[in-house]
Structure 1
Amino acid sequence: MLIEVENLVVGYQKTPILPAVSFAVEEGEVWGIIGPNGSGKSTLLKTLLGLLPPISGKVKLNANTRLGYVAQRHALDPAIPSRVVDVVTGGVELGWSFLNPTHILKSRERIQSAMVDADVLKLKDRQFNELSEGQKQRVLLARALASDPQMIVLDEPTSAMDQTAERQVFELLGELRKKRGLAVLLVSHHLPVLGEFATHAIYVDSDEQVMIPGDIETVCHCNECVTRYGDALHRHRHTEECNH
């Protein structure tokens, strides 16, 4: 178990915005946080990451769990020129480790491996702000991979992308999950593709006061999700399973 959530209540200034939720993320699982705009998805994500204190309940990380975080792309200042390799290198926290040659060597190896796995090695000397949206997302994935995480958390990783680039990002996440045994937790509005790749989901709606976690089949068939999205999740998941 990488992360365990027990009776977690999220909100601001001691005011809950959603009911309590409990779930656990295991190695290799892909969890999608879904729901309408303004439903509390980002609040839940920030609380899971420790950026917001919970109103009540607990978020427990396994003592050995290493997290990699991929923020939305606008979090990087486009006015600051950075090469791809510099952005990826930022995923390795060196601290005083420059005094340790062994650590430096391992860090370089992780950076190289991350760029290879995210398919951005050929872009390493390009300026980040000159890349396409899909390329930028792969670079930020490589940055997260450079910390050698067991779980990657992504905030709307395919926003501002066309359908082709969106699918390529999800396919890359699927490959990384298999190759590295990664767990993935992401906020997404793109249900058709998410329905194909996710193993689990959390449906969030602060207006209706619901928070429903579970395996993808359970969540996509719950009344609240069907009312909001119809069979968007289930239809595309079924199509993908038939194709295999």
Structure 2
Amino acid sequence: MVTKHEHSHEHTKDVILCCEDLVIGYDGKPMLPPVDFQVRRGTFLAVIGRNGSGKSTWFKTLLGLLPPVSGRVYRSSPHVKSAYVPQTSGIDALLPVRAGELVRWGRMSGWNFMWPFGARGDRRAVEQALDTAGALPIAHRPYRELSEGQKQRALLARVLATKADLVLLDEPTAAMDAVAERETMKRLADLAHEHGLAVVVVSHDLRVAAESADQLLFVDRETRSVVLGDADTVFCHPAFRRQYGDEYCPRHPPSGHPRGPTVG
């Protein structure tokens, strides 16, 4: 089954990232059908699917780490700034650093040997980013000693310090407990809505993603499906229900037999 979505928006000035007939895969072999969609300022998109469904490949293609099999990914403007936040485990191997110093790295473009601590504007930007991300109380603590939720707040502060327009996060709540996971996803939604960022997250928790994200992008290599929409649209789609059953769909039939609408 191939599901393709095309979305047009009145306010094209808000579009940051565009996927045009995008087909992902390896060595010229497609994993999923072509998809068209746009990521806009002030929106929070969560990418979901089972292990091996194509989430990581799709994400790496967005980041430019993998070339598309066909189609293209492009920024709406050469001035769009993007930032990538890996899983917190990817930072632990770095040299010992305090949370505030990690955030300052986001302002390294203004660093030079004549003024190693950055300009006054940089220091203000770092402090503001720490405060907005809820990381100001942990600024002087070693990053390695922070909890997973605190580490994620420090990484989010670093993103804010870069003044990025587009933020891509790879399973930011991995290894977090349920409370920290919900708090982090809510904070990401707030950052998108209140600061006009475009936030794209690969998520493993379906319910938490549905609670916080404006849209879900479900990818499924097995059924060759790509489904984009709100939680009800995605969770009631036959391809999603084939993988996860009916428990997530609020309008599934009592008999449990698939009867959801086909999108696209």
From 66, 71, 93, the counterpart of 1:78: 93
Q: Is the 8 A contact 1:195 1:216 kept in 2?
A: yes
Residue pairs, 1:154-193, within 5 angstroms? 154-193=169-208
> Once the 2 structures are TM-superposed, how far is the Cα of residue 68 of structure 1 from its aligned partner?
2.1
Q: Is the 8 A contact 1:68 1:145 kept in 2?
A: no
Q: Name the SS of the counterpart of 1:90 in structure 2.
A: helix
The answer for the alignment partner of 2:227 in structure 1 is: 212
> Once the 2 structures are TM-superposed, how far is the Cα of residue 145 of structure 1 from its aligned partner?
1.1
Percent identical: 42
Number of matched pairs? 234
**TM (normalized to structure 2)?**
0.82
CA deviation map 1:28-55 (0-9, x unaligned):
1111111000111011011111111111
> Once the 2 structures are TM-superposed, how far is the Cα of residue 124 of structure 1 from its aligned partner?
0.9
RMSD of aligned residue pairs (Cα, Å)? 2.1
Q: Name the SS of the counterpart of 1:52 in structure 2.
A: coil
> Once the 2 structures are TM-superposed, how far is the Cα of residue 147 of structure 1 from its aligned partner?
0.7
From 8, 17, 30, the counterpart of 1:3: 17
The answer for the alignment partner of 2:256 in structure 1 is: none
Structure number with bigger Rg: 2
From 31, 41, 48, the counterpart of 1:17: 31
CA deviation map 1:33-85 (0-9, x unaligned):
11000111011011111111111101111213222211111211436211111
Q: Name the SS of the counterpart of 2:155 in structure 1.
A: helix
CA distance in 2, matches of 1:98, 1:16: 48
From 22, 27, 52, the counterpart of 2:41: 27
Q: Is the 8 A contact 1:195 1:233 kept in 2?
A: no
Q: Is the 8 A contact 1:71 1:155 kept in 2?
A: yes
**TM (normalized to structure 1)?**
0.88
Tell me if 1:145 matches 2:160: yes
CA 1:108/1:96 → structure 2, altered by over 3 Å: closer, same or farther?
A: closer
> Once the 2 structures are TM-superposed, how far is the Cα of residue 231 of structure 1 from its aligned partner?
4.9
The gaps in structure 2 that reach 5 residues or longer are 1-14, 251-264
Tell me if 1:60 matches 2:74: yes
Q: Is the 8 A contact 1:97 1:104 kept in 2?
A: no
Tell me if 1:133 matches 2:152: no
From 50, 56, 61, the counterpart of 1:47: 61
> Once the 2 structures are TM-superposed, how far is the Cα of residue 157 of structure 1 from its aligned partner?
0.7
The gaps in structure 1 that reach 5 residues or longer are 236-244
CA 1:150/1:232 → structure 2, altered by over 3 Å: closer, same or farther?
A: farther
Q: Is the 8 A contact 2:41 2:196 kept in 1?
A: yes
Q: Is the 8 A contact 2:43 2:193 kept in 1?
A: no
1:2 maps to amino acid: I
CA distance in 1, matches of 2:115, 2:102: 22
